Structure formats: C-alpha cells, structure tokens
DNA sequence: AATGAATGAGCCTTCATTCAT
DNA sequence: GATGAATGAAGGCTCATTCAT
C-alpha cells in the first residue's frame, strides 16, 4: 500500500521560497543591468538555481521581469504614509508627504527594488501599468487630494503642475543623482543628507505655494 | 522591455555621408531600444547599409553609441540660451533659463535625440562623461551662477539644492511624461502646453526663492 | 592552405558521451585544417551536434582544442614502451626505443591523433606545454637516460645532440613523409615498410654511436 | 598632339617594388601566423599599402601565398652549395653538404623565408609542388648522388633511408627547436651552436655509414 | 518538482573581396 | 595604376528556451 497522501507544506513552501529567491535575484540583476542586459543565467546563478528555473517557475524572462517589478513595489515602504494621521492639518500632511518621498528616493528600504521601479517608470514597459495602478497612482492621488485641500481655488491643471513640481523635486535625487555627481563631483552631492534635502524641498515648496515659512 | 526591433522601413536613400546616415539610424534605434536592446543589424538595416558598416565606420557598437549620443546633444537646441542677453537682470535671465529648459524638455527639436540623451543620463554609461562635459555641465553652471547672483547670502549647498529643485521640475516632464499619462490619463497631461508649464514653473520657482510674483 | 572544410559526413550516432563525440570530431577537423582553419561549426556538424555544443561542453574553441590535443596524445600508444624490460642491456633497450618510435611515427594507432599532435609540436601553441609535460618529455628523458648509460664519458651536450639525431631520424617519417613523396614519388616512399625503416635507423644509430653491428 | 609614348621604367619598377614589398610583408606574416591566421589586412598594413593591394596585385590571398612561398625559397641561400667543388672527394662533399644544411636550418639567411618554407613543407599545400621542384628536390638529388658515390653497393632503398636519416638530423633543429626548448629548457638548447651541431651531425653520420672518424 | 543537457536563433565582429573612382 | 568605401559571408560566442528524465 502506498503511503498516505499527506499534506506537504514543505514542498509548497520550498516552491514558494524558490520563486521568492528567484524574484529577489531578478530584482537585483534587472536593477543593475536592465532588462536586456540581464541574463537569465546570471539571475539563476545568483539564486543558486538551475538555468531552467526561470522558465520552469515563470514561463519566460519577461514574465519574471514583470513579477519582479510587481514584487519590488511591495517591498518599497509605501505603508508608513498610509497610517499617516489624517486629522493633521493639510500643510502638515504635505510636509510629511514630502519628507516621506524624499526619504524613499534617497535611501529606499530596498535600494534595488526602488532602482528597478524607477527604471521601469523611466521606460515604461509591460510592468508599468500594474506598477502605476498599485504603487504610483495612490501616491499621486494622495498628493492631489492634499493640494485640493490646500489650493481649492486653483484649477485642476494648476494643481496638476504643482504636483509635478513637488514630485519632480523629489524624483530628481533618484533619477539624476549619478549625473549630478558627474557635474559637481561626488562629495558635493553626497554632502546633501536626507534631512537637508527634505528640509529644502519642504521650504521651497511651502514658499512656492504660499504656505510661508514653517512655524518653529 | 521594448518590443522587438522589427522591420523598420529604411531611411530614404540620401546624399548624406554614410557616417551621418548611420548616426541618424543609431540615434533612433538606440533611443527606442536602449544600448543592449539595439542590434547593429537593425541600425544598419535602418540606415540602408550592410551589417559590416558599423564596424567599418566606427570600429564597434560602443563607439557608434558614444558618437550617436555626442551627435544627439549637438542636435539639441542648446544654442539659443547662449545668445541670451547678459545685461538683463538675474531674475529675468532665470525666467528665460527656465522657459528654455521647459521648452527643450517638452518638445525637443529632435525627439529621438533628446530621448537618447535622457536615456544615457538616467543610466550613465560610456557616453555620460562626454555628455556632461560638453552639454550638461555648462547648463548647470549657468544656473549656479544665476543663483549666486540671486541668493548671494545662501550657502553653496542651499543653492545646489535650489538648482536641483528647478531642474527637477523641468526634467520631470521629459523623464516621467509617460508615467504621468498612465496615472492621470493622456488627455489630462497633453492639455499642459509648453507655455502653461513654463509659466507654472517660473511662478512656482519665483515664489519659492522669494522673487515674488512677476510684475505684469 | 588546406581545402575548405566542406560537407564531411557526420559521425554515426553513437552512445559515446557528447564530449567524447565532440573531441573525436575536433581531433579530425583540427588535424586536417589546423586551429585557425577549423571552424567550430564544422566540428559540431561532424559530431552531429549543434553549433552551441562546443561552447556548452568546453566553454570555447581554444579549450576544446587543448582538450582534443590532450586526448590525442592519450590515444597514441605510448604505453607499450612503459612495460619495457628494464633489466635488458642498454643497447637492447635503445633498439626497442627506436623501433617503438619508428612504429609510432610510421603507422600511428590513430592517424588523426598523431597528426594533431605533430601539428601542435611543429607550431607550439596553447596545448604544447601540457603535451610536452605529459607526453614528450618522459620519452625524451628515457632516451637521455639510455644514452647516459651507453655513453657515460660524453658531455651532456654531445648526448643531447645524439638524442636529437636519433629522434630526428624517427620524426622525419612523420613530419616530412608527404614532401618525400613529392620528391621521390609515392611508390618509392611507400616501399619503405616500418620494419625496414626501423632496421635502418637502428643500424644507422648503432654504427653512429659505436655499438657496432647488432649481433645476429 | 599627344606626347610620345615613351618607355616608363619607373612605373614598372614601382609596380615591381609594390609587389616586392607585398611579398616581403606576406612572407613575414604568413611565417608568423600561418595561412589561415594571417589576414590580408595585416599584410597590406605591414607593406604600407591599401587593403585592396593584395587583390589588385595578386588576385587573391591564395595566389599571394603561393608567390610568397616561391619567393621565399629563392631568398634561401641554396646557391653556395651549387658552386661546391665537384672535384673534391665524395666524403668531403658530404661533409660540406651536411654543414651547409645544418647552417641553413640553424641560422637561415632569411629566417622568415625559411620559416615559411618549412611551414609549407610540414603541411604541403598549393605551393608545395613548386617548392619541391625548384628547391627541395635538387638538394635531395644532390644528396642521393653523393650517397651513390659513397655507398654504391647498397640498394636504392637503403640509400634513400640513409638520406632521410641525414636530412632528418638537420631538419630536426628547425622543425622541433621550440619543443626541444620546452623539454630541456631554452639555455640547454641555445648552447648548441651551429658549429657544434654541424660537427656532431658530420661525425654521427660518418660513423653511421662507415666513413670512420674524419682525419684531422 | 526540478534539473542538466542540448538547441537554434541571434549577437558583434572580422574576413577576403569588389567596385567606383 | 591604385585606393578608399563598402559588402556579404562567415567567424566564435551567448542567449532564452526546451526536453527528457
């Protein structure tokens, strides 16, 4: 008689862990080399698995890429913003929003995850739609809502551009850090700490939208 | 993640020198598919030439890439800024600077050239150093000089970040336009004309650095 | 200057391991066309395998070549000499040595293996060092030891040259057989059987080093 | 009226000089890299001429190769042997023959020419027939004639093999020098001067064929 | 469930050669 | 007479993928 068909959580978990390891490896390699530059071989090797692993677990390279990008945004620390105190004044919530954005761009919880996400956003591909739906749009809408509170008399277009001005400042440090270092020298740019940048963007933005200097 | 470079109709036979045709083709293909994603075959086919043309005229793919990026920045309309009136007040020159930047980012003279340049800046490779030396740094230093005039009492770091805030706003429209369209819908974003954006960034920035509303 | 490697019928499907089939094919193709003249495509085709097989099993062409040469010398029948009777008089052992050398050069067990080995020795490349260490030097040192027994009163240099004279006679038939045929006609050269040549070289050498005619 | 069609020896000579330069370059490159390993580009570059020069002057690579080999044997110093004193005793003429052969193999007048000739002989191709007819066979026949004088009572086959034994000793130093150095070390082999080798081969051979020690 | 073996398409590059001048 | 420009074929190699186990 055959042994009883018992539940084998280990296998399922091992399977899960295999996919997880693969995704983690993919995140790093894709982040460093881009989609075309990354090789399935390199990813599998990094995950300590066989070359065929990617095709076995994900079907093909592209699917793995999409899954890796999806996973990457979950690893990004979006949550802290969610449990923001909704009772605080809008100007305070805007400041918190900016500080969170700057921090996320400056020192993301998972650098390679953020790198991968930014890469995909700069050159939107198959994974961009999901990314926007689950990761980017919520953030953008939160900012839009904030600006509606703060600038109810402005047009939608004005508020849209204001939002872009705020986000543009924050994104700059992630999207153009390397070039900035080439322009001004690495030390000059590295001297700008998260707090300094956050303070600056908050002040710059408050002035720009007429909130005036933040009370001490 | 771009789609495969299939069957692009080749450029019409022209009297342009072979190198020029090759560079033009390279600009487009590299802009669309990235360095790794672009194949010399596709580039040569687009240029209406033989596969060996790249190696004959440029030695290898990498050299072609660097030359294509160099040429791309020359095709970008940097010059208009150069014949800026140096006797105008700094605040006026800042406004002109911003308007020029926004215009350049919004509707570049050669879209594929700008696309290629932005790509290289986002992920600095072999051509980045040249690009920075000849194209980016002069612009950055002009802005820095302007800010030194306008905000002489601030620290270097504060002025650096202010510069980043200004550039960040302008770059946003080039680096994140497609994602913005995904978030808010294409019509919403396309409704923002160059002039509207330029006006906004000028106003936002003037307020931010305490120049106040521009006199009518 | 060998003719192009065209359309060699592939080896019959066999149970030999893939690497073995590849090595056998490489031996033949390299032997016939030389390292540069042989193409991995031709080798793989001969082995009935895909173009990628070489790179999969050996990494690159050069490694395959080195391995093929190594294998070729193992296929050469060097062993018989090893179980030579060490108690026999030196003059007898010298004769056996010569006969073995002549036989090996005249009708090697695997013609293509010998051809490959000779090729590599004539124009020492990557595989020469290994070949010398494992195959050639042991033979050379055995001869040197024999000559030390036979001619203890001579200088090292004299014995070295004596060794070269002996080896030179044997190698001649492998390295210059085709040219000899061109000079004197194929029949003339083919008339020289292994035994005739061996008898001749033995006699020539015995006389030369003063062993006198071999006792009947 | 057109100018008179005068003889233009300059052009012809320049033409000749061009072909000559090409042949000289081809000799070196082919000698160093072999037929397949040598590139037409490298040869033309070495000759200070255009890539198309080879095809213009010789039609194709193979023809250039054949011509280079042909020219190479003319550059070899075969002549000195020709004006050998035919009245001297055969044993003396044999000694001179050997000394000449050893010298030619050891320090050929034109090393690259000799290298090229030996290469072609080791792996006879299109140029081998010509080479044999004009270069090798005359030498071989001279030796055969000498041996007929010295050993009239032997069979043709015996004399043939004796010739091979003599030539084999001489060729050894050219065909297997590099391997010998690998076996015994470069210094050991380089210590063998032309004169030492010539003395040795003469003595070895005299003893072998029963001429006894050469009278002082 | 997972993998080592093997594949064919495609990569960039180099080749000998040709052609218009 | 001689050459710079350009070409198609082929080179070795890497790729994502598949298949038998």
Q: What is the pLDDT of residues B86-133, one digit of tens each?
A: 788 999 999 999 999 999 888 777 888 888 888 888 888 888 888 888
On the CB side of B68, how many CA atoms lie within 13 Å of its CA? 35
List of residues 6+ apart from A129 with CB closer than 8 A = B182
Task: Report whether CATH 3.90.1150.10 matches the domain C15-73.
Answer: no
- Give chain D's end-to-end CA distance (angstroms, integer): 78
Contact check, Cβ <8 Å, B179/A136: yes
Task: Tell me the residues of chain A between 60 and 79 that have a Cβ less than 8 Å away from chain B.
Answer: 62, 65
Query: What whole-number distance in Å separates Cα of residue A174 and Cα of residue A181?
Result: 12
Nearest of D142, D144, D171 to residue D160 by alpha carbon: D144
Radius of gyration of chain A (CA): 21
B39 interfaces chain A, CB cutoff of 8 Å = no
Query: What whole-number distance in Å separates Cα of residue A72 and Cα of residue A65?
Result: 10
Query: What whole-number distance in Å separates Cα of residue B31 and Cα of residue B127?
Result: 14
Separation of CA D52 and C1' E20 in angstroms? 13
Query: What whole-number distance in Å separates Cα of residue A104 and Cα of residue A111?
Result: 9
The pLDDT of residue D216 is: 54
Q: Which of A154-163, B30-39, D67-76, D195-204 has the lowest mean pLDDT?
A: D67-76
Most confident of A81-95, C176-190, D100-114: C176-190
E strand map for chain D: none
C61 contacts on D by Cβ (under 8 Å): none
Q: Is C148 helix (H, G, I), strand (E, B) or coil?
A: helix
Q: Give a three-class secondary structure readout of chain A.
A: CCCCCCCCHHHHHHHHHHHHHHHHHHHHHHHHHHHHHCCHHHHHHHCCCCCCHHHHHHCCHHHHHHHHHHHHHHHCCCHHHHCCCCCCCHHHHHHHHHHHHHHHHHCCCCHHHHHHHHHHHHCCCCCHHHHHHHHHHHHHHHHHHHHHHHCCCCCHHHHHHHHHHHHHHHHHHHHCHHHHHHHHCHHHHHCCCHHHHHHHHHHHHHHHCCCCCCCC
Separation of CA A42 and C1' F17 in angstroms? 15
CB atoms within 10 A of CB D143: 21
D140 interfaces chain C, CB cutoff of 8 Å = yes
Gap from B123 CA to chain A (nearest CA, Å): 8
Domain boundaries defined on chain D: 15-73, 90-208
Query: What whole-number distance in Å separates Cα of residue D65 and Cα of residue D116?
Result: 10
D207 contacts on C by Cβ (under 8 Å): 207-210
Separation of CA A117 and C1' E10 in angstroms? 29
D193 interfaces chain C, CB cutoff of 8 Å = no
Which residue of D136, D165, D205 is in closest CB contact with C179?
D136
Separation of CA B19 and C1' F14 in angstroms? 29
Gap from B37 CA to chain A (nearest CA, Å): 6
How does pLDDT run across C84-131, given as a tens digit for each residue? 677 889 999 999 999 999 998 887 778 888 888 888 888 888 888 888
Check residue A158 and give left, alpha or beta (phi > 0: left; psi -120 to 50: alpha): alpha
Query: With a threshold of 0.85, does the pTM exceed it?
Result: no
D169 contacts on C by Cβ (under 8 Å): 164-165, 168-169
Which residue of C36, C160, C183 is in closest CB contact with D36?
C36
Nearest of A141, D72, D176 to residue C165 by alpha carbon: D176
Contact check, Cβ <8 Å, B200/A161: yes
The pLDDT of residue D212 is: 72
Q: Which nucleotide is nearest to B56 (CA to C1')?
A: F6
Query: What whole-number distance in Å separates Cα of residue C62 and Cα of residue C70?
Result: 12
B178 interfaces chain A, CB cutoff of 8 Å = yes
Output the tens digit of pLDDT for each of chain D's 216 residues.
344 444 433 334 455 688 899 999 999 999 999 999 999 999 999 999 999 999 999 999 999 999 999 888 876 655 555 556 778 899 999 999 999 999 988 877 788 988 888 888 888 887 888 888 888 899 999 999 999 999 999 999 999 999 999 999 999 999 898 899 999 999 999 999 999 999 999 999 999 999 876 555
Nearest of D141, D139, D136, D149 to residue D209 by alpha carbon: D149
Contact check, Cβ <8 Å, D165/C2: no
The pLDDT of residue C76 is: 62
Query: What whole-number distance in Å separates Cα of residue D191 and Cα of residue C156?
Result: 11
- Our answer on whether D and B touch (3+ beta-carbon pairs < 8 Å) is no
Gap from A183 CA to chain B (nearest CA, Å): 5
């Amino acid at each position: 008689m055959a042994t009883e068909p018992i539940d084998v959580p280990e296998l399922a978990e091992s399977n899960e862990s295999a996919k997880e390891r693969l995704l983690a490896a993919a995140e790093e390699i894709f982040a460093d080399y881009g989609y075309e530059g990354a090789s399935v071989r390199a990813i599998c090797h990094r995950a300590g698995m066989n070359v065929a692993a990617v095709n076995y677990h994900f079907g093909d390279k592209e699917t793995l890429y999409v899954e890796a990008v999806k996973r990457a945004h979950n690893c990004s620390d979006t949550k802290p913003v969610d449990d923001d105190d909704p009772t605080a004044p809008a100007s305070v919530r805007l400041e918190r929003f900016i500080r969170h954005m700057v921090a996320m761009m400056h020192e993301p919880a998972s650098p390679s995850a953020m790198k991968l996400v930014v890469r995909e956003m700069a050159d939107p591909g198959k994974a961009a739609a999901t990314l926007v739906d689950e990761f980017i749009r919520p953030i953008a809408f939160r900012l839009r809502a904030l600006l509606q509170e703060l600038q109810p008399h402005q047009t939608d277009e004005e508020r849209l551009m204001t939002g872009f001005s705020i986000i543009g400042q924050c994104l700059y440090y992630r999207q153009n850090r390397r070039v900035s270092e080439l322009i001004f020298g690495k030390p000059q740019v590295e001297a700008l700490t998260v707090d300094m940048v956050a303070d600056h963007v908050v002040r710059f933005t408050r002035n720009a939208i007429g909130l005036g200097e933040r009370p001490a």
